[in-house]
Structure 1
């Protein structure tokens, strides 16, 4: 075990890493924020019919919700929730669907198995299985012939970045993404994840930048410095690799209010995403 106070990562010791990734401590009133998210999500489910808990595998959390906007062949916005791979549900964040729906997207809310029940390998496998399932589906609940955006917040942003090369996608928008698992493995977040060296290497998007779809990397400008660094470093690395990756810090937003912006049809993220989609490939 490292001695107390010994630097572990980029000059940060264990205690500093504990704080560097503690978003709920950094944002005052998080329980009230989550309760508001849940209330708004329940209202959306009540107001908007959807396919609820469609199965993409046999596991109890291998499920997705599909909200239709009412337009034939609408683009599809797939959203993966956060929670550091070990907490929350798609139902907690359904409220974000309102913005994309009003902009003419069909919306998919993805669920996946959480740690400690699932390893990172299994969590990543769940998202791959979901995308493969949707890509192979026919008719209303399929992706064939459509523009498809994969997005996700925090841990969901990590999973988004990992899958930006999936053949079913046309665009990606990781939000407040965690793109290097090494510091995650060195703090309290690893108590349930139990990341292996092989998983850190294979599933850190910052280390795995390859050919992928045009990508908009967003993050709240008032987030913790480490969260800002992850997004900024990933965008820079993407550009250096010759990829179509852009960086969008959201003024006045913290780790959770970035989702309020996403839920607004005229929010900065959706307007920027639509501009990217209209621009086409470079």
Structure 2
């Protein structure tokens, strides 16, 4: 593809338009605030000493350990935070599931290698310290939107767990939404102004190109009206993973599809609950 074609395929900001995109981002924060109002949890917990980054734990009630959904926010690795990213917490709490939403250092302050390390460190924190916060370390499900889907994919991949002292099956299931799994095209669009990747580094950071010694159950979700690049990414990675299903959510775009995770009656919400309960 030409650089112009790649920009059309992956520049969802341009596809949506500034006004619509800003409305969606405002909804992330507003719905997150509504979802966690009065919800039991632990806020601003440090999970990674090296970076000082923190996470929020939502939906634990002190009555036994709950399975946990770790959600990595999107924003093309250079925007957003955990404050806009807990909109599924109340719905999951009502279904007996806890939610963990980590921050990570944004590009260009951090390299993508460092961002991936932090995502994996968040998983390691849940495994090591989850019990102290009402989380079941043996029932960890990961997910994320867009760039967060890429980070979920990097925790699904194999051969990193040993370096963190984790079992190879620490991630029991996954649900990336509009994820990026082969990020080599990103080196040729505006996002690379922040990431500064070359193709070799991008390949090393692409879940679709990494070994997977164990393929956990997964659901790959994408919006019907998503960017063409994101549709292609999920359609290619799902059969490669060979242990998951593909869902194309009708009447949704790149920005609003993930909000369905907060609705227990939506296709995405029901699928997430079923996925977590099955682990």
TM-score range, shorter chain: 0.7 to 0.9
Cα distance in 2 for residues equivalent to 1:114 and 1:65: 17
1:215 pairs with 2:218 = yes
Higher strand share: 2
1:22 corresponds to which residue? Answer: 11
Deviation at 1:49? Answer: 3.4
- The answer to whether the Cα contact below 8 Å between 1:209 and 1:238 also exists between their aligned partners in 2 is no
Cα distance in 2 for residues equivalent to 1:144 and 1:277: 12
1:193 pairs with 2:182 = no
Q: Normalising by the residue count of structure 2, what TM-score does the alignment of the two structures yield?
A: 0.87
Identify the range of structure 1 (75-84 vs 58-67) with the bigger mean alpha-carbon deviation: 58-67
- The answer to whether the Cα contact below 8 Å between 1:76 and 1:146 also exists between their aligned partners in 2 is no
1:130 pairs with 2:119 = no
1:234 pairs with 2:237 = yes
Any gaps of 5 or more consecutive residues in structure 1?
A: 1-10
Q: Say if 1:52 and 1:78 are closer, same or farther in 2 by CA, change over 3 A.
A: same
Q: Say if 1:90 and 1:176 are closer, same or farther in 2 by CA, change over 3 A.
A: same
Identify the range of structure 1 (108-117 vs 202-211) with the bigger mean alpha-carbon deviation: 202-211
Larger relative contact order (CA 8 Å, sep ≥ 6): 2
- The answer to whether the Cα contact below 8 Å between 2:76 and 2:147 also exists between their aligned partners in 1 is yes
2:29 corresponds to which residue? Answer: 38
2:253 corresponds to which residue? Answer: 254
Q: Say if 1:39 and 1:274 are closer, same or farther in 2 by CA, change over 3 A.
A: closer
Deviation at 1:270? Answer: 2.9
Cα distance in 2 for residues equivalent to 1:100 and 1:202: 34
1:269 corresponds to which residue? Answer: 268
Q: Normalising by the residue count of structure 1, what TM-score does the alignment of the two structures yield?
A: 0.87
Deviation at 1:38? Answer: 1.3
Point out the structure with max Rg over C-alpha. 1
- The answer to whether the Cα contact below 8 Å between 1:98 and 1:264 also exists between their aligned partners in 2 is no
1:63 pairs with 2:66 = no
1:8 corresponds to which residue? Answer: none
Any gaps of 5 or more consecutive residues in structure 2?
A: 159-167
Q: Deviations over 1:205-237 (max 9, x none)?
A: 111251231111111111111110001100021
